[in-house]
Chains A and B, each alone.
Chain A
Amino acid sequence: MTRLDEVRAALSERADRADLVPSSPAHAYHRARLDAAGAAARTRERPRRAALAVAVAAAALVAIVVGTLALLELGDENGSVVITEPVDPSPDGAPADRDDGRFPDEDPDDGIVPDESGEPDRIEPPEPGTSADPAPGTETVESVLTTTTAGPVPPPATCSADARPDRAGPGDQARRPSMGGVLAVMSSAFDSQSGVVVSVVAGQDIDDQTWILDVCTNTWSRGSPPPLAVAYHGPVVYDVDSDLVVVLPSFADISRAASYDADTDTWTTGSALPDGALPLTGALYDPVSGLIVTGGSSSWFAYDVEVDRWDAVAIGSLDNGLEPEAGLSSGVLLAHITDRDLFVLWGEPMTTVDVRTGEATQHDVDTPELVYGWPPPPLVYTQDDAGLGIIHTLGGGELHGFDPVTLDWVRLSESDSGPGAAGTRGFDDLVHDPINDRIVAIGGVVRSGGEWTEIDDTWAFDPDARVWTLLVEASP
């Protein structure tokens, strides 16, 4: 083989990887078209904001002149001047910095608080009286996330006394969702009141599937198929106070929300995303409002599954989007740190967001290379009753943990143990099983000997003992 042949082979090998990663041209087109529409809308918005800024500046100048004249003439009965706290001047109640005529990237004071030190030690709890107790004279934005309260949460399911969830399930059971080696996506959530993992497998050219894993018997079974509206689905999340697994749409014009009731094995189709919404890349149940908070890299919504309603969530400081370089894992709404009431937006830099106030803070975190590997690994957040949580991610078969408070990474398992033993793994899914306090890793594909092969095994990771246990063997 000549040197040129070697170069040609190496370049071809890189191009051939495109065939190993499922991708739908139509899906890619629509995703790009929506992002292009969003970019165009922001461009159209720019002159309007500039004009508004001029108007606001002129009004402010007039106010200063008038106020100064008034102060010269007026005082209280003791002759001293009374100065009140400023009130948000925007007529629609939006934060004042939203319509200042500048885009966030043009102004360092854009609401995203940069990490000046470069290496923050940890995310500190909120100061008393910051968000819940606004300063006198100021007005807060009435977000649906502050005006809605979660309903009562029934106790989670438990396994029966004779159950052995640590034992592998039956060897002859129907296997967990098959991706079919085609353009499908698997997304899962844990229904804590039914004690089951619900996995939705949907995509192009396959029969969309619902699979249920009983975590007490480690047995998969098939549920009724999801509606076609979720074929191009986005995130899947369990709505705790509604006791429904909610499948969110990915695109405004081709998919809709749907919810699955594991108790009755029934699907209900909901509405589409509001017009102009960008693809959603992550979703979380907000235990404060009881709503599902979801968003992409720039537009966020609250979804109320019980009344099938979308409400825009004003994250003003993020409306210019995140840095795009972090790959597919960036911009994923990932975790809610309960004791700080902060949402973690995955990416590089990682961002924490106070959705009640819209304040965002970016944290410069050095992330292990495998976590941003190829293909993008799944992410799951676990949190104990005390609010201590870890973001887990299975990159290439290695399990890594990230503490979103201390901003520390730790490798929890090596690539030759558990699901990593079969080879470098991708397109798998992770779910937290709170009943057995473990992380469930579901299937995917493994690369061994240069080939990608679908695998339908199921594993559990004990975060205390840091040990993997095989729950369901792969098909022979």
Chain B
Amino acid sequence: MRETVKLSTRDEQRVTEAYPAVRRFAFAVADSDVDPDDLLHEALVRVLSRGRIDEIDDLEAYLRRAVANVASNTRRRLGRRRRALGRLRAMSTREVADGPDATMVGSELMRLSAADRAALYLRVVEGRPHGEVAEVMGVSEEAARARVSRALRRMRVEMELEGVES
């Protein structure tokens, strides 16, 4: 006789509902040499380690903030590994076919900080107002607006023409 496995809890239900959108966010935010699922896992562990997640009103925003924070911390942590990989890249002239971020824009995005990518993703892909960007990023609305603006400038987007500043 086959056994049944009980999986469902309220916490699990809330996490699994938020999971797909947060995972897409993690994929957009993660540096190219960081596994987005590892990033999301670490963020989930941190959130679940805090105890009762039923006290968190907007779990999806909370998880996104955890992902952005972990991504930023990971970026700082990975200096040694990046230097090693840089040496390997210098030794090999071959580029990986179909590899990630083969486009110029993709490469430029990867030079942004994880926090900048997170803010850009929320603003220009999901179309969230600066107030919601601020909530996810854990900063003031003014700071979120400035971050989006700075990231766009770094991506050489003509903001006045594109209308994303408003």
Contact = CB atoms under 8 A, between A and B. Distances in A.
A325 B34 contact: yes
Contacts of B158: 3
B74 interface: yes
Given A11-B120, A15-B125, A23 B109 contact: no
Given A25-B20, A26-B12, A32-B44, A448 B98 contact: yes
Contacts of B23: 18, 23
A204 B155 CA distance: 40
Interface string A334-361: 0000000000000010000000000000
Contacts of B20: 18, 25
Given A328-B37, A424-B98, 6 more contacts: A3-B162, A11-B125, A18-B36, A32-B45, A269-B3, A374-B35
Contacts, number: 160
- The DSSP consensus for interface residues of chain B is helix
12 contacts: A10-B101, A14-B27, A21-B37, A29-B44, A30-B12, A39-B49, A228-B4, A327-B35, A328-B35, A374-B100, A396-B99, A424-B97
B97 A415 contact: yes
Contacts of B33: 369, 372
Interface in B11-67: 11-12, 15-16, 19-20, 23-28, 33-38, 40-42, 44-46, 48-49
B161 A2 contact: yes
- The DSSP consensus for interface residues of chain A is helix
Nearest to A4: B162
Interface residues on B, range: 35 or more
Given A15-B125, A35-B41, A450-B98, A26 B16 contact: yes
A18 B162 CA distance: 28
A278 to B, nearest CB: 11
Contacts of B146: none
A36 interface: yes
A228 B97 CA distance: 39
B26 A18 contact: yes
Interface in A13-50: 13-19, 21, 23, 25-26, 28-33, 35-36, 39-40
A325 B27 contact: no
B37 A33 contact: no
B5 A228 contact: yes
Nearest to B103: A10
A369 B81 contact: no
B19 A29 contact: yes
Question: What are the nearest 7 A-B pairs in CB distance?
Answer: A32-B44, A25-B16, A25-B19, A36-B48, A15-B24, A4-B162, A15-B28
B40 A369 contact: no
Contact of A31 (B41, B49, B81): B41
A8 B125 contact: yes
Contacts of B139: none
A415 B99 CA distance: 12
A83 B13 CA distance: 64
Interface string A358-383: 00000000111110111010000000
A409 to B, nearest CB: 9
B36 A227 contact: no
Nearest to A7: B155
B157 A7 contact: yes
Contacts of A28: 15, 19, 37, 40-41, 44
Contacts of A102: none
Contacts of B42: 324
Nearest to A40: B49
B16 to A, nearest CB: 4
Nearest to A31: B41
Contacts of B34: 325, 327
A325 B77 contact: yes
A243 to B, nearest CB: 25
Given A28-B19, A369-B33, A372-B33, A14 B109 contact: yes
A319 to B, nearest CB: 17
Contact of B38 (A324, A348, A447): A324
Contact of B5 (A7, A40, A231, A376): A231
A361 to B, nearest CB: 18
A368 B87 CA distance: 10
Contacts of A324: 38, 42
B19 A4 contact: no
A6 interface: yes
A7 B77 contact: no
A17 B38 contact: no
Q: Which of A11, A28, A367 has the most CB of B within 10 A?
A: A11
Contact of A11 (B41, B45, B121): B121
Contacts of A23: 23, 37
Interface string B127-166: 0000000000000000000000000100111100110100
Contacts of A366: 84-85, 87-88
Q: Which of A40, A231, A327 has the most CB of B within 10 A?
A: A327
Given A28-B19, A29-B44, A32-B41, A4 B164 contact: yes
B108 to A, nearest CB: 8
A119 to B, nearest CB: 12
A7 B124 contact: yes
B97 A15 contact: no
Contacts of A372: 33
B89 A369 contact: yes
Contacts of A231: 5
Q: Which of B5, B87, B109, B158 has the most CB of A within 10 A?
A: B5
A2 B162 contact: yes
Given A28-B40, A325-B34, A7 B74 contact: no
Nearest to A414: B94
A3 B157 contact: yes
Nearest to B83: A366
Contact of B105 (A7, A32, A423, A447): A7
